[in-house]
Amino acid sequence: MAIIKPFECVRPKKEYVSKIAALPYDVYNRAEALREVQKEPMSFLRIDRAETQFDESVDAYDERVYKKAHDILWDMIKQGSFEKDTKKCYYVYQLVMNGRSQTGLVACASIDDYENNIIKKHEKTREDKEIDRIKHVDTCNAQTGPIFLAYRSNDIINELVKNKMKEEAMYHFVAEDHVTHTVWKIEESKQVSVIEQAFQTIDQIYIADGHHRAASAVKVGLKRRALNQNHTGKEEYNFFLSVLFPDDQLMILPYNRVVKDLNGYSETEFLDKVKENFEVQEMGKEPYEPNKKATFGMYLNHTWYELTAKHHLISKDAVEGLDVSILQNYLLDPILNIKDPRTDKRIDFIGGIRGVKELERRVCEDMKVAFSMYPTKISELFEVADANQLMPPKSTWFEPKLRSGLFIHTLE
């Protein structure tokens, strides 16, 4: 039984929404974030990446940075750039990219559900990244970037959302990256109750994206519990900001790979080694994207190849059967000596949103070989999480990205 509750949202005033809404903090490096803030002074990156308000001598994780994030957020609230709803509401959030839409519900999920594994994880988090967002949430006294959750589609929720979308939207704008964002508010008490009860019939929720934000929000909540002698379990710090999507709305893009060298092999020797575990077919000069599982595109010396894993490599295990595992276990590791793709500097990862032409560009510029992947399915993500296993690194790329600053959940 999942607890997915409405909340009193702090959100931009309508006239500022397109200026404030920003891509997540972790899609930018410091220089890129600074350029975005200089281009749009109201961008929420001023808060999510408050180091942009200091010169390079101030470390991004300096205590002054978190204090600045707090001050900017609460000054903007005080000055009227944001407003706070006085009723606990849900919000319908639709994103449209390249003609394809996905629609989710903005709500708050329970840290107890996270702790008790009702909210399933599939990714290992890094302590340094957690510490950064713990400090940000705790100092700001607010969660500013929603966690991307998924659940198995529910007819009751679907019907209510569909009907709500026939009404006038609260927000509607097209962002700079041409993604259209539309938001409707669900505030009528009967509708709110229907949604809350419908989620209580759902056994499992899955983190699709945002494992570090989720872990950080939970740790802030647990810390505040320990400090509150009058803790009841109803305080806002017991819940974290989320957008929940039914599984049939989601599309995962591939997460492609490029490698700097052939580990000492000549191109002929390398191809011979690859043929030990893969059927190799030359495809020519046109970019190749695989269209089924256990197949891979490979770009080498201005030529594309199709690699098809030999039958004995394909496992029924939730993790070992993933395409990213097959490539890692039977090519990247044994042939190219990429033992740990998390830390090896010879490998880089290219989100599917950038297309396979980006793979060609990197091979021409600073890499030797590239691999285009067949995307992981949402059902595979669920299967791995249900088995309490972890996905290999860089297994999924979700688009479009949820915007930060559209919805803020305050902890008091």
On whether residue 55 sits in a domain, the answer given is yes
Q: What is the pLDDT of residue 315?
A: 94
318 and 174 inside one domain: no
pLDDT at site 9? 98
Rounded CA separation 47/366 (Å): 35
CA gap 134, 363 in Å, rounded: 38
Q: Kindly give the residue spans of alpha helices, DSSP state H, lying in 165-286.
A: 189-199, 211-227, 267-274
> 141 and 239 share a domain?
yes
Are 279 and 169 members of one domain?
A: no
CA-CA distance, 100 to 2, in Å (whole number)?
28
The mean predicted confidence, pLDDT, of the chain is 96
Which tens digit of pLDDT belongs to each residue from 323-337?
999 999 999 999 999
Same domain as 186, residue 275: no
Q: Supply 108's token pair.
A: 């708050």
In a domain, 386, yes or no: no
- Judge if 214 and 76 occupy the same domain: yes
Residue 342: Cβ-neighbour burial (10 angstroms; 0-12, 13-18, 19+)? exposed
The answer to whether residue 384 sits within a structural domain is no
Residue 380 in any domain: the answer is no
Q: Are 229 and 290 within one domain? A: no
Q: Are residues 201 and 322 in the same domain?
A: no
Same domain? 91 vs 193: yes
For residues 247 and 310, what is the distance between their CA atoms, to the nearest angstrom?
30
**pLDDT score of 1:** 87
The answer as to whether 74 is a domain residue is: yes
Say what the pLDDT of residue 214 is. Answer: 96
Express each pLDDT in 253-273 by its tens digit: 999 999 999 999 999 999 999
Strands 239-246 and 147-151: parallel
Print the domain residue range for 220: 4-251+399-410
Please classify residue 149 by burial: count the beta carbons closer than 10 Å to its beta carbon, then call 0-12 exposed, 13-18 middle and 19+ buried. buried
Please indicate, yes or no, if residue 186 is contained in any of the structural domains. yes
Q: pLDDT value at position 251?
A: 86
**Residues 6 or more apart whose Cβ sits within 8 Å of residue 190:** none
**Does residue 381 lie within any of the structural domains?**
no
Does the residue 296 lie in any domain?
A: yes
State whether 237 and 297 are in the same domain: no
237 and 270 share one domain:
no
What is the number of structural domains in the chain?
2
User: How high is the mean pLDDT in each 10-residue block of the chain (412 residues)?
Assistant: 96 98 92 96 97 96 98 98 97 96 98 97 90 96 96 98 98 96 98 98 96 96 96 96 96 95 98 98 96 97 98 94 97 97 94 93 97 96 95 92 97 94
Count of other CB atoms within 10 angstroms of residue 100:
11
Residues 217 and 355 occupy one common structural domain: no
pLDDT for the residue 124: 87
Residues 206 and 342 in one domain: no
